[in-house]
Structures are given as structure tokens and as C-alpha cells.
Amino acid sequence: MDISYIINEYAEERNDYFRAVTPPIVQTSNFAFSTVDALRKSFEDEYGTWLYSRGLNPTVDILRKKLAALDGAEDCLVFNSGAAAIFAAVLANVKSGDHIVSVRNPYTWAKKMFDEILVRFNVSVTYIDGTDIANFVAATKENTTVYYLESPNSWTYELQDLQAVATLAKQHNIVTICDNSYCTPLYQRPIAFGIDLVLQSATKYIGGHSDVVAGVLCGSKQMLTKIFNSEYLNIGSGIQPFNAWLLIRGLRTLPLRLEKVTETTGKVLGWLQAHPRIEKVIFPFDENFPQYALAKSQMQGACGLLTFIITAKKIETIEAFCNALKHILMAVSWGGHESLIIPRCAGIKREQFMAAAPEHRMLRLYCGLENAAYIIADLEKGFAAIETME
């Protein structure tokens, strides 16, 4: 299916709603039936009928179909957050006594789920450097049921060879789950490499306007039916119709926004690389990136997030740089219209700062929809503020 068709027309039955160009927000909690038999059928197989909006809803279904098509997946479920999508995908594939192999430093709340929740139910996890397939082989045990991937991750952009990991997993009957938030299905389709479940935080690029929190999970019809009938309905964290409508609206401009962000990121990257206060810039489509060849082979694009390491002897220098920015906002998240920055040192106590540790001097920049020159001019303010500081 053509991406333009998926985004602009697919799954929109306009004759069902007054030929309106924009789909309605079907803001209802429940749906009425005209016969007992029809109600009974819905009870017997809720996945496939509109019964109650904790389950399915017409506005949400339009979004589900579009997102599944973009990922090249049979089916899709949309959650009220990316974290909920992660939770449901993992929970559905482990039982007490099972073991998970995860890339090290996965998204914060994936790690918290592994370390603080799943351990209470006797599910263990081994964290590995996912850049080398040999580490997956070495960490796999008899009771391993899940490989948890994030490619690239959102701070240092390590990748996994998705095809190699999927092939290995199939040999051992292991379910592969991949967080694809960085790329979106426009820049990477993990299912085409044999990955079983692909998820993303729709809060980022799909929403695109920093006004909705949501998560997407795509995979086979069989797997998603199982998840719908259990974790999805039980956790009750499905997306609400209005937020689904905002995501449909976000999708309309997704290709355009990614194109613009890609162009801007390239310009900002080049400018940062030439700056004397920059020790290193980390970006997957930079020729010096250690996994550049793999990135080029499995991703159609890279944009938005980049990480740079600033030269600084003291934490005050990094703080002064960030505090001097006037337009780039200091905030978590990314994928919206606005450029954002987070210094790594905000995550540690001031007295823990070590200038010798490059990771303490890392700053993650998200390039939004502003013009490159506007973002660069703001970064210049930051550098000007630390000109006399070491």
C-alpha cells in the first residue's frame, strides 16, 4: 500500500459518517445491540465487535488499521502510553520462571518493569550489549522466552541487527519485541526483518505536537488477539477516542515533518561537528558512527535526536550552556514541533559529576520544526555563555 494512501484514505469509510473528510470522534463508552443473539456473539468474541470502549471503538479502529499498514503488520493495538504498550507486550510473553534477554539501558520504564515488577513474579532478565549477535547467543537459556530490543535507542543510538536477532530467536522459539520509537515505521519496519512485535511511543513522532501520550503495538493477528483478550482489556490502558483522533491528525503530516526534521538535523549536526567546544557528536547516520553500515542497511532515515559531548571541566559550564538557551526548551520527550534539550548531568547529583566521564558531559538535542538557522542561533547563545568557562 502506498504511504500517501494509508495516511490520507485507508480505513476511512466516509459514507458511514456524512462523507466528512475528517473522521468523527465516537465519544461513547458503550454500544447498543438490537438482539440478544448479537449481544451474545459480542460477548463470545469481543475482538471484532464494538461492545465497550475499553476494548474497541470506531475512531480507534481507523487509527489501528492505518498504523498496522504502515508497519506492514497484520494487526495493531493502540495504548494510552508507550509504556503501556511495552508492559502488555512483555507481560503477554512471560510466566513465572521465564527469562528475558534485553539490550542494556532500554527505555527507563522498560527497565523499571524488568527490575522492579517482573522480578516479583520470578521472571529474570539478562542485559547485554545488543550490538553483537554473539551476546544474544551467549545469554540465551533454556527458559528464555523474550528478546527485548530497542534499535536505535534514544541516547546513544546503539542498534541491533534485526534480521540476525529474529533468525536466532526463531531457532529457539523466542518472541522478539522491538521498540521502534526513534525511527517510526517510515524509517524502519522491523516486522520485515522477522521481528514479532514492534512498538513505539506515539507520543513522539506520530502525535507530533506534544499534546498527546500514546503507544502503538503491532504484530500478528494471532498474537494481538491474545494480548487484546487478556492484557489489553485487563490493564485497561487502551487509547481513548479523542486521543486516537489526535493521532490520526498527526499522521497526516508525519512524512512532511520527518522530511523537515531530517533536513534540519543534518544542518545542525554539521554545525555542531565543526564547533571547537564539541568533543563528539553521536548520530546513527554519521559516517563515524560505529554501526553506520548497519544503520544504513536497515533504516531508511535517521533524524531528530542527536547527542553531543561538550568540553567542560565543571558541571557549571554545562549548566550555563543550557540555562542560556532561549528557544530550545529544556524538557523530556521529543518528536513534537519544538526543539528540546536534556543534559545527562540533570540525572545525577551535582557532586557526582566527573568531567573525565564523557557520558556526564552528554547533551541530547531534539531538532523540531523550527528552521535550522533559528536552532543554531540559539545554540550559539549557549556557547557564547561558556566562552570564558572551561
Ligand X SMILES: *Cc1c(COP(=O)(O)O)cnc(C)c1O
Judged by the rule CB under 6 A, the positions of this chain that interact with ligand X are 81-83, 107, 150, 154, 179, 181, 201, 203-204, 213, 215
DSSP 157-219: -----HHHHHHHHHHTTPEEEEE-TTTHHHH--GGGGT-SEEEEETTTTTT-SS----EEEEE
The least CB distance from residue 150 to ligand X, in Å, is 6
What's the CA gap between 102 and 104, in Å, rounded?
6
What's the CA gap between 177 and 85, in Å, rounded?
11
244 or 386, CB closer to ligand X?
244
258 or 372, CB closer to ligand X?
258
| Angle, CA of 321, 323 and 324, to the nearest 5° | 65
64 or 315, CB closer to ligand X?
64
What are the E-state strand segments in 173-330?
Answer: 175-179, 197-201, 215-219, 278-282, 305-310, 329-330
The least CB distance from residue 318 to ligand X, in Å, is 22
The least CB distance from residue 154 to ligand X, in Å, is 4
Closest by Cα among 339, 340, 181, 335 to 250: 335
201 or 339, CB closer to ligand X?
201
The least CB distance from residue 206 to ligand X, in Å, is 10
Which residue is closest to ligand X by CB? 82
Q: In this structure, what DSSP letter does residue 76 have?
A: E
125 or 315, CB closer to ligand X?
125
169 or 214, CB closer to ligand X?
214
Q: Which alpha helices (DSSP H) does 54-183 contain, by range?
A: 58-71, 82-91, 108-112, 133-139, 162-171
How would you label 311-325 residue by residue, b for 16+ Cβ within 10 Å and e otherwise?
ebeebebbbebbebb
The least CB distance from residue 213 to ligand X, in Å, is 5
86 or 325, CB closer to ligand X?
86
Helical axes 58-71 vs 241-252, angle rounded to 10°: 40
The least CB distance from residue 204 to ligand X, in Å, is 6
The least CB distance from residue 367 to ligand X, in Å, is 15
